[in-house]
Chains A and B, each alone.
Chain A
Amino acid sequence: MPRKVILWAVAMTALLASIPLIVHDTFYLRVLTEAVMWIGLAITWDVLAGYTGYLNFGHGAFFGLGAYTTAILMGHGGWPFPLAVAAGGLVAAVAAFIAGIPTLRLKGAYFAIATWALARAVQQVALILEITGGPDGMRLPPFLHPQFFYYAMLSVTAAVFFLLWYLLETAPFGLKLKAIRENEAGAMALGLNPARIKIQAFILSACPAGIIGGIYAYWITYIDPASTLGDIITDQAVVMAVFGGLGTLIGPVLGSIVLFSFKTYFWAYLSDYQVLYLIILGALIAFSVVFLPDGLWGSILSRTAKRPLVPTEAPQPDTKKKASEVPNG
């Protein structure tokens, strides 16, 4: 199974990379760029939520931090784009490290609300500060080259996907995270250091979000607290990951593709009924939680897994057993 998936992913990436050679329509490239961006945000959110079991409702803050850092460095400091984006990722990582130490001690609902409050506080700070332009937002020097941004977004997202695939699905790190998700005290008893591993996961999830935010800022050329630091970013990433299936890497990718195509179709062809989009999206989310609790990918997996006569899957005890075989770290 894993090898098949990785082959699929490589094929997908190659396919996506070759699209600009065929399609020259700027509109479709823009749509694809944003789709790839959402894939990146959804999989990075899933690192902490699906694998580690910590619901970060402030993921958008890291995206926004990256965007603002890039904008400030490029706009006020005159930095070149690659350096500014790297700095955006670094700022997001440092912020995750600093915020993670106290926040990751909280569990369940408390962690969710705390990260959400922190993200909203960051948004309020951006509204007040002068360097961020307050509610007016910031403008960046425009660079009209859709292919460039498409490849930038795609390379970052693909790199993140393969890195996460390596770390979470093949390396012991993923098993450590799952051990913490299933039973934190148990993981500690096995010699793991949950505090450190959780921080690592938090940074792993925040840093790419910052980089993606940086690329987004230069691509859109205009950022303001409402659109880049608001709840919208987090909400969409959460919805896409949950709809696709938590705790997997394929699920969020699938979820973002389905939901984003739906959204784009709506905005492009049914924009008179924009409000209808909210209703349908809300209903879709609510019903997918009720009827597809494992998400799209989870349901596909369980349907295909039922075919063999001997029921072989018992995922939870299995992961625990594997976690016990992991050497101390």
Chain B
Amino acid sequence: MNRAPPAVNLAEGLRRPASHGLRIPASGLRRGSRSDPDINPIRSCRIMLLLPQAIVDGLLIGGIYITIAIGFSLAYGVMHIIDFAVGEWIMLGAFLGYYLNQWFGWEPFLYLPIIFLVFYIVGFCLQPLIHRVLSGRRGNPVLMGLVFTFGLALMFRGLALTGFGFFSRSISSALAKGSWFFQSGNFFVTIPVIRFAGLSYALAVTVGLHYLLKKTDFGLAVQALAQHKESAGLMGINAKRVSSHVYGLYVAISAMTGTIFGCIFSISAQMGPDLTVFAFFVVVLAGMGYLAGVPWAAFLLGFVQSFFLIYLSPAYTLLAVFAILYAILLISPTGLFRKGV
């Protein structure tokens, strides 16, 4: 009884994002509003009814954020470089996937190995330059790394705008058409197949990376390098070579994520900076260089986004993202788990 007025307001706020064009299409939400008349029309209930959808959306979006950030976190842990170009790598990978898809017309997921290989080589070849920047005699390698990758990011964005134009496109995938719909009582959840595929890809990458780092000799070398560079060198680890592999791995994972991202959302040459924001958010929340924290932070970001989308205005999402990022840095600079470098 007392609850009624705020519930109406919330329901108003809830309808607003669904009617406007959103940057990130909430397909589940649209479905929900279509089947509204069938549902028990108690307004205050609608808030609760969307809760499962909000949670599932958060999980599905969060999955993609894992792979946006996990390579970045790995690179930071080993090389202590803050890569401003992370979003641009994702963008470039997305465009490679787009053009491969245009030329051959296969399912985009089949191109992932090619994209991985191409960008692995690119990253591997670029790393010596970054090493030179980071180990210059001039102090403040953090700044030098930041500025160098900032220059790279500008260059990539310019190249992409020249080559691909300003338009946004999307990669067509057969998976993008279907979606699963679950209903029990008044609760319902829609899971687009492509997003589920994205989450599966993210989990596969995470598990694969975990295996690589924990069970192989290469992983041991990477861990040693992250712990103490000089000692690792004394143990016979070729720091430059391992760093090159790590950088290649990071670039390759980011680029593959771009293709998946393009299947789910849309791609454009200007999408880089936004993705860089999300990567920074996830990595800082997880603790810089602490890989095990990345999935949790990524899911948290997914939840923040889906809840703001469904319950509040999407205009507040970025404000919340930056406010949380700043607050976390002040309260616990080493991340939610206090395990960062």
- The answer, among A112, A113, A235, A286, for a CB contact under 8 Å with B148, is A286
Give the residue of B80, B152, B318, B329 whose beta carbon is less than 8 angstroms from that of A120: B318
Bound CA–CA A114/B329 (angstroms) = 6
Contact: B333 with A106, CB < 8 Å? Answer: yes
Nearest Cβ in chain A — how far from B57, in angstroms?
A: 22
Chain B 238-254: CB-based contact to A (< 8 A → 1; otherwise 0): 00000000000000000
A147 to B80, CA, bound (A): 48
**How many Cβ-Cβ contacts under 8 Å join chain A to chain B?**
127
Q: Is the CB of A282 within 8 A of B152?
A: yes
Given A125-B319, A239-B147, A278-B157; A106-B329 close (CB under 8 Å): yes
Residues B322 and A121 in contact, CB atoms below 8 Å apart: yes
Residues of B within 8 A of A94 (CB): none
A102-134 residues with Cβ-Cβ distance < 8 A to B are 102-103, 105-106, 108-110, 112-114, 116-118, 120-121, 124-125, 127-128
> With A112-B146, A276-B158 as given contacts, are A128 and B325 in contact (CB-CB < 8 Å)?
no
Q: How distant is B41 from chain A, measured CB to nearest CB, in Å?
A: 32
Known A113-B284, A242-B147, A283-B151: A121·B326 in contact at CB below 8 Å: yes
Chain B 128-174 residues near chain A, CB threshold 8 A: 129, 132-133, 136-140, 142-144, 146-148, 150-159, 161-162
Asked if B147 and A282 make an inter-chain contact with CB atoms under 8 angstroms apart, the answer reads no
Q: Beyond A117-B322, A120-B318, A275-B158, is A293–B144 a contact (Cβ under 8 Å)? A: yes
Give chain B residues whose Cβ lies under 8 Å from the Cβ of A278.
154-155, 157-158, 161
Contacts of B137 in A (CB 8 A): 293
Residues of chain A within 8 A (CB-CB) of B191 are none
The CA-CA distance from A160 to B318 in the complex, in Å, is 35
Q: Does B82 contact A (CB under 8 A)?
A: yes
B331 (CB) vs chain A CBs: closest residue: A102
Whether A102 and B330, one on each chain, are in contact in the complex, defined by CB atoms closer than 8 angstroms, is yes
Min CB gap B307→A, angstroms: 17
Q: How far is the CA of A116 from the CA of B273 in the complex (A)?
A: 13
The smallest beta-carbon distance between B54 and chain A, in angstroms, is 22
B148 proximity list for chain A (CB < 8 A): 285-286, 289-290
- Judging by beta carbons under 8 Å apart, are B151 and A285 in contact? yes
Interface of A is mostly: helix
Contact B140 A53 (CB under 8 A): yes
State which of A117, A239, A246, A287 has its C-beta within 8 Å of the C-beta of B329: A117
194-246 of chain B: CB within 8 A of chain A:
none
Which residue of B has the minimal Cβ distance to A294?
Answer: B138
| B323 lies within 8 A of A103 (CB) | no
User: Could you list some 21 contacts between A and B, CB below 8 A?
Assistant: A49-B143, A55-B143, A110-B329, A113-B82, A114-B329, A121-B322, A121-B323, A231-B273, A246-B140, A275-B161, A279-B155, A279-B162, A282-B155, A282-B158, A284-B151, A285-B147, A285-B148, A285-B150, A286-B152, A293-B137, A294-B138
With A55-B143, A125-B319, A235-B150 given, can you name 20 additional A-B contacts, CB distance below 8 Å?
A: A55-B146, A113-B82, A113-B284, A113-B325, A117-B325, A121-B323, A124-B319, A128-B315, A275-B158, A276-B158, A278-B154, A279-B155, A279-B159, A279-B162, A281-B154, A281-B158, A282-B155, A286-B151, A286-B155, A290-B132
Binding site for B on A (CB under 8 A): 49, 53, 55, 102-103, 105-106, 108-110, 112-114, 116-118, 120-121, 124-125, 127-128, 231, 235, 238-239, 242, 246, 275-290, 293-294
B→A interface (CB under 8 Å): 80, 82, 129, 132-133, 136-140, 142-144, 146-148, 150-159, 161-162, 273, 277, 280, 284, 288, 315-316, 318-319, 322-323, 325-326, 329-330, 333
Q: Which 6 A-B pairs have the closest CB atoms?
A: A278-B158, A282-B155, A285-B151, A282-B154, A286-B151, A279-B158
